[in-house]
Amino acid sequence: MAIEVRIPTILRSYTGGAKVVEGSGDTLNDLLTDLDSRHAGLRGRLVTEAGVLHRFVNVYVNDEDVRFLGALDAKLNDGDSVTILPAVAGGAFGFAAAAAIAQHVAAGRRVPVTLG
């Protein structure tokens, strides 16, 4: 059962420079565990300590963003192609601050700043 995985430049230090590697697994989670057995450290760059996909990467199965397919639980089939890209984001306003405000909103507090 082979799944092709495309590795972005920033993570090729884990794959000996390889742009494409192969792995196996019934879910994305299984695949990343399998890859980590040969490319130690790769999984840690994609999955947080809390066990969710990192905010800084986009992972796709074929043509779909895995965030719409169940994230780490996304089902994989033989012949699927998985693409990993660095998420491109940023901006003048601190993301940590934005997250803090979102939590304030969730807590039902009044928020003095409006995010565009």
| Sheet architecture: strand order including 81-86 | 20-23, 3-6, 81-86, 57-61, 64-65
Whole-number Cα distances in Å, 13 to 6, 27, 116: 13, 24, 37
Question: Given the complex with other proteins, which of 37 and 111 has the nearer CB atom?
Answer: 111
Binding mask 39-78 vs other proteins (x if CB under 8 A, - otherwise)?
Answer: -----------------xxx-x--x-x-x-----------
Query: What distance in Å separates the CA atoms of residue 54 and residue 25, rounded to the nearest whole number?
Result: 20
User: Rule CB under 8 A: is residue 10 a binding residue for other proteins?
Assistant: yes
For position 90 contacting other proteins by CB under 8 A, the verdict is yes
Q: Which residues bind other proteins (CB under 8 A)?
A: 8-10, 56-58, 60, 63, 65, 67, 83, 85-96, 98, 115-116
